Amino acid sequence: MKTLFITSFHSFISKNILNTDVLKSLRGAQDLRVVIFVQKNKKEFFERHYGSGNVIVEGVDTSPIVDSRANTFFSRLLFLMIDSHYLWYKRVERRDARPSPLSWLKYHVFSGLVRVLSGSRALNRAARFLAYRLTPKDILAAHFERYAPALVFSTDVFDPFDVQFLKEAKHRGVATLGMVRSWDNCYSKGLMPVLPDRLLVNNEIIREEAVTLHDYPSERVEVVGLPQFDAFVNEERASREAFFKTIGVDPTKRLVLFAPAGAILSDTDWQICEILEKAREEGKLKQPVHFFVRNHPGHPADLSRFKRNLHFTIQDPGHVFDENRKNAELDPDDQRFLADLLYHSDVVLFIATTLGLDASVYDKPQIMLDFDGYEKKEYVKSVARYHDEDHMKKYIATGGVRLVRDKDELIAAIGDYLDDPRRDRAGRERVVREQLYKIDGKSAERVASHVKASLR
């Protein structure tokens, strides 16, 4: 019997991989034992939802990985080896958090280091070599010795806990298969610390980024699509009447879905809700609407200053493991609800989120909010800075999303799309081609196929 290790340390891996047919396919494989590794405090949740048959869940004490000074040093070094808009404004945020001559000096020193260190294949190789040689590789030894895996499937090659598994596998000569978790990771997570034997990516754009930014060999990259969207097309969706009954809303109303930025990204989400409510109240939207506010599972918006009413439904999805919701997980029921919600939404509004990709599966008109409610913030504190991130600029360039820069543009755009949802359809079709690869319901099948091939 062969043993497969699967990592699940980011809260979206359950959504992207474990809730899909990837795990179902592997669970049915003969002569295969699957061991899913999660943070220790999540073990019971994962056992309840995924641990059965040939699937075992192991909880990992991640503190030795976090507490390692060598790991911390090289993690910070690798962040200086990618030059991106996201990493630039994170340096600005650190500079401005505690203004002082020292913080300004650090900002300029680190910015200078980025210009020197980024873009060099030789320096990339040297940094990876030193990081591998000078950081601990025995933290996970007990798990490798107990199970003797034939393959480590790292579902998030930039995650520090995944990196530890990849280092241990390389140290022991165990085959590795990696995956880039999300569309922004090649720009936002620093240099890829360990190059797995083969790499799975969602689309051709990420393949190009992995090759050009991280020196990954093109011939070892496989494009598979996004498994989490298979169910969107393979499952039958709830009827409009049944779904609206679930959320307690009149099905004759138009449904506008709003995904706030969340408290860690913006403090004006409540103002957007107020703008929407005033537009409804003043009759600026010609059709009767209901607003569904779906918070990010990991960082919900602070809407305490918004006066809630019957025209708004506010949802905090996911299962919470700590007070700040940072490690919230989505189970299969959460994903089915999201698919139904998107399917029945008439317009989707968002700030700095992947929800636009989800909405594109169902060809839903989408609006990106590029302003801060009633406030006029400087650029480095405005939500506008998020939409200049490298991956977001590529997304906006498709024409599949309408960027609005004030409340009047927002209300006008909602009205336009409610009147004619076919507007900008060509752009949304381009989003599907470029970002989603294929909406054929077979992405999980492709992932599972590559896992099995790597095992062979």
d(CA 387, CA 370): 7
Amino acid at position 311, single letter: H
For residue range 307-327, what is the model confidence (pLDDT) as tens digits? 999 999 999 998 888 766 677
Residues 6+ apart with CB under 8 A from 162: 7, 9, 154, 155, 156, 178
Query: pTM for this one?
Result: 0.94
The percent of residues above 90 in pLDDT, for the chain, comes to 94
pLDDT of res. 328:
84
- Comparing 324 with 410, the larger pLDDT belongs to 410
Taking residues 142-156, what's their average pLDDT?
98
**Contact between 317 and 333 (Cβ < 8 Å):** no
For residue range 17-50, what is the model confidence (pLDDT) as tens digits? 999 999 999 998 889 999 999 999 999 999 999 9
d(CA 346, CA 243): 14
Range 205-230 burial, b when 16+ CB lie within 10 A, else e: bbbebbbebbbbeeeebbbbbbbbbb
- Comparing 251 with 318, the larger pLDDT belongs to 251
For residue range 70-125, what is the model confidence (pLDDT) as tens digits? 999 999 999 999 999 999 999 999 999 999 999 999 999 999 999 999 999 999 99
Tell which residue, 177, 185, 156, 179, has the closest CA to residue 225: 179
